């Protein structure tokens, strides 16, 4: 956590300086999704959720922001997720770039979920802003006390009207525990697959996606279908 806190603190300070630089923009979004699914696992138990965020971007490649979503998870009383993030998008050559970021996840609800806050670092290689190879790592995921690592592979096809996303990831605990593995025994990982179609129409973004994992419904996973619409606002 000590690695991420200075970066997020500096990011919050830089957001307040957005109006003092001509090489930056600030935008917000507000939307509704039929189901909030993260890493292939439902965070709302099949229910809809309101979502919203604020993002500051600088021409240097630096970005930072806040994002929130409603929750309705099995087994706890979490009602909201609040994410603070900061990162740097760096072009390496024509068509090749890296994106390095840090995110702090916190959850609102009763006292039983106070210990679930955690930090995550990520590194992504992007080719033509279409092919993505990603790595994410958390030292203490949720309240497990165990490190969790995700390896990602994604490809986005752009057409005149739509973007089509093909995505897969392996999510793995780096330690095994009977309380935090998947399916019993020594299974400490699972696979996620997603196909999504997105279209922008004016300030609105519409998205339809199908998520699939090799977990059972006991983990609020399996196959899920989501539809979402978000409205974007250019604030500066």
What's the average model confidence in pLDDT over 64-86?
Answer: 93
What's the average model confidence in pLDDT over 213-229?
Answer: 89
Pick from 116, 111, 60, 61: nearest CA to 83: 116
Catalogue all structural domains in the chain, each as residue range(s) with its CATH number: 4-234 (2.40.160.40)
Q: Evaluate whether 177 touches 146 at the Cβ level (below 8 Å).
A: yes
Q: How confident is the model at residue 73 (pLDDT cuts 50, 70, 90)?
A: confident
pLDDT in tens, 112-158: 787 889 999 999 999 999 999 999 999 988 877 789 999 999 999 99
Count CB neighbours of 31 within 10 A.
19
């Amino acid at each position: 956590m000590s690695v991420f806190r200075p970066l997020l603190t500096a990011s919050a300070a830089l957001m307040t300086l957005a109006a003092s630089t001509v090489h930056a923009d600030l935008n917000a979004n507000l939307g509704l999704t039929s189901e909030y699914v993260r890493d292939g696992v439902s965070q709302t138990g099949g229910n809809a959720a309101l979502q919203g965020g604020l993002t500051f971007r600088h021409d240097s490649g630096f970005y930072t922001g806040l994002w929130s979503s409603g929750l309705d998870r099995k087994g706890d009383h979490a009602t909201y997720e609040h994410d603070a993030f900061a990162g740097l998008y760096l072009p390496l050559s024509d068509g090749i770039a890296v994106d390095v970021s840090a995110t702090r996840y916190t959850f609102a609800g009763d006292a039983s979920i106070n210990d679930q806050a955690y930090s995550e670092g990520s590194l992504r290689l992007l080719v033509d802003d279409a092919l993505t190879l990603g790595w994410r790592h958390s030292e203490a995921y949720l309240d497990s006390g165990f490190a969790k690592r995700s390896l990602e592979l994604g490809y986005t096809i752009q057409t005149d009207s739509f973007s089509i996303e093909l995505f897969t990831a392996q999510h793995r605990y780096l330690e095994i525990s009977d309380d935090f593995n998947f399916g019993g025994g020594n299974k400490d990982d699972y696979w996620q697959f997603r196909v999504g179609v997105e279209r922008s129409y004016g300030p609105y973004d519409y998205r339809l996606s199908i998520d699939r994992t090799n977990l059972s419904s006991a983990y609020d996973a399996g196959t899920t279908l989501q539809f979402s619409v978000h409205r974007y606002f250019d604030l500066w």
